[in-house]
């Protein structure tokens, strides 16, 4: 097996085209046992960064994901908006917030968030709290990613939205209700009253009265659950909070539940129906201290690696079989168990023990869409057809992940059928009848990654079984997991 040294695979040292050796063990070599800990959760980190930046006083985040590009974009943005950030402790970050009101410099009122979708959605909603018009923009791909549904909800709350280029996509400028002349009335203290009838996607009502006054909006299913989470995070700092109703259900409900659980954990006052058809967020959040759990989306790659390597035990630290995580992806291992793998839980670690007889499954991944490509990598070696529902949100990620998977996995002879049975939310994954060619002289394959971290990380898993694979643009993992390939190389020790 070629030398594959973690010390040579730091992000800055990664080549433009990274060849990956097939995994193997020499005769007499002990089975691999290794424990890995992914970086802190991106989803929790960015939620906590926003809340800390808006809260009064100083908050501390332990084990955050600060080295990744997404978090760096969020950190730069909150500092541009008046929060102060102390990163002198390598394992923690201290943020002094703005007490619920962004301080916008009119000469520096554009936030460039590159392709950081979470930061873009969260800060777009949080522009409700800005004291001057705020423009949100990003890279070329971000300027193709839809945000109109969130913008329409902000218009219902009194904002004025101006698109600077393509309608419905960044860059867009948001002027808050205060700037548009919409102020709380004496009869409904703190309620936001729209200057015009609501446009698109729902209705709005204001409950009159005293302390029970609230702004309420009804939300149809959205292209991204981040639109909902963005409003929930911002609502804590609105004068009377916000009530959200979902008469037709919620997209990717697990992420909305994560936001709700985080707010509860930090001491915010929330109420919700058991099915999340109604969520009420009341105003008020104090400075806080938070320990951020490892990223469950990052953990899915190591659980998938365990599924593909029956002679290895890859433990992921920070998770257990009895899932208490805030993250929906923490349940990914249960799908691998359905495929014939065995779960091994010990000392706050969870490993997936693979099998040579993987079997296809039918599953619904609407609560863990970021893990679909991890499952696809395993399904490539499960004879038969795996059917996955809950995938339509993959169209509007860092790339169109469904089309990207179709193109790249076809290089192995794997067929992905989307719009399965005319259902845009379903696809199937079928490896070749004779199986993927894993012989030593299998033709070289170079996988393109579409500037998408999850494409790079999931496609790398295929090299564990199939030789002669190269990953193009491996540095795109910087978005959420900068040391991914260093961890990947540890599998070869």
- How many CB atoms within 10 Å of residue 452? 24
CB 362 within 8 A of CB 390: no
Bridge partners (DSSP) listed for residue 488: none
The total number of residues written for the chain in this structure: 493
CB 360 within 8 A of CB 384: yes
CA–CA dist 212, 292 (Å, integer): 34
> Given 295, 367, 370, 418, which residue is catalytic?
370
Q: From 174, 204, 175, select the one nearest 191 (Cα to Cα).
A: 204
CA distances from 249 to 245, 253, 279 (A): 9, 8, 12
Chain centroid, CA 439 distance in Å: 36
CA distances from 355 to 382, 460, 489 (A): 10, 19, 21
Cα Rg, the chain, nearest whole Å: 23
Residues 6+ apart with CB under 8 A from 214: 191, 206, 207, 240, 241, 242, 243, 280
Instruction: Determine how β-strand 214-218 pairs with β-strand 386-389.
Output: unpaired
370 assigned to active site: yes
CA–CA dist 21, 37 (Å, integer): 23
Bridge partners (DSSP) listed for residue 291: 62
> Tokens in use for 195?
């200057």
Classify residue 433 by its DSSP letter: T
- How many CB atoms within 10 Å of residue 326? 22
Instruction: Determine how β-strand 204-207 pairs with β-strand 242-245.
Output: unpaired
DSSP symbols for 163-211: ESSSTTSSSEEEE-TTTTT---BTTBTT----SS---SS--EEEE-SST
The vertex-488 CA angle with 486 and 489, nearest 5°, equals: 65
CA–CA dist 493, 487 (Å, integer): 11
Catalytic machinery residues: 370
């Amino acid at each position: 097996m070629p030398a594959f040294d973690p010390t040579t695979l730091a992000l800055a040292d990664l080549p433009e085209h990274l060849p990956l050796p097939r995994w193997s063990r020499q005769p007499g070599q002990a089975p691999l046992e290794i424990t890995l800990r992914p970086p802190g959760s991106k989803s929790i980190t960015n939620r906590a960064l926003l809340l800390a930046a808006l809260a009064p006083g100083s908050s501390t985040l332990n084990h955050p994901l600060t080295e990744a590009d997404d978090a760096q974009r969020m950190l730069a943005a909150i500092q541009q908006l008046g929060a102060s950030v102390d990163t002198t402790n390598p394992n923690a970050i201290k943020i002094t917030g703005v007490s619920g009101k962004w301080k916008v410099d009119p000469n520096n009122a554009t936030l460039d968030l590159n392709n950081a979708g979470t930061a873009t959605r969260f800060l777009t909603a949080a522009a409700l709290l800005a004291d001057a018009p705020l423009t949100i923009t990003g890279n070329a791909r971000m300027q193709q990613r839809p945000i109109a549904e969130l913008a329409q909800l902000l218009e219902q709350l009194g904002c004025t939205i101006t698109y600077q280029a393509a309608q419905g996509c960044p860059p867009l400028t948001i002027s808050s209700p205060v700037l548009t002349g919409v102020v709380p009335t004496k009869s409904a203290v703190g309620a936001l009253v729209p200057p015009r009838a609501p446009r698109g996607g729902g209705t709005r009502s204001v409950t009159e009265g005293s302390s029970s006054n609230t702004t309420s909006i009804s939300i149809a299913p959205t292209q991204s659950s981040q639109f909902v989470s963005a409003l929930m995070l911002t609502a804590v700092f609105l004068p009377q909070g916000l009530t959200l109703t979902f008469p037709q259900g919620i997209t990717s409900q697990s992420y909305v539940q994560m936001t709700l659980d985080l707010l509860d954990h930090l001491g915010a006052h929330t109420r919700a129906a058991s099915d999340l058809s109604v969520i009420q967020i009341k105003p008020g959040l104090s400075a806080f201290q938070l320990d951020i759990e490892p990223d469950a989306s990052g953990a899915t790659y190591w659980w998938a690696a365990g599924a593909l390597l029956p002679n290895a035990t890859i433990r992921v630290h920070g998770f257990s079989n009895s899932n208490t995580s805030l993250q929906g992806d923490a349940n990914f291992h249960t799908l691998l168990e359905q495929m014939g793998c065995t779960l091994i839980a010990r000392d706050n670690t969870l490993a997936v023990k693979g099998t040579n007889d993987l079997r296809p499954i039918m599953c619904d991944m609407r609560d863990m869409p970021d893990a679909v490509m991890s499952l696809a990598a395993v399904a490539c070696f499960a004879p038969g057809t795996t059917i996955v529902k809950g995938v339509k949100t993959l169209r509007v990620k860092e790339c169109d992940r469904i089309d990207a998977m179709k193109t790249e996995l076809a290089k192995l002879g794997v067929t992905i059928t989307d719009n399965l049975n005319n259902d845009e939310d379903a696809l199937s994954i079928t490896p070749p009848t004779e199986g993927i060619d894993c012989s030593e002289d299998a033709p070289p394959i170079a996988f393109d990654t579409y500037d998408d971290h999850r494409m790079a990380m999931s496609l790398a898993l295929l090299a564990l079984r199939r030789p002669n694979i190269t990953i193009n643009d491996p540095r795109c993992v910087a978005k959420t997991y900068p040391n991914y390939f260093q961890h990947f190389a540890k599998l070869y020790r």
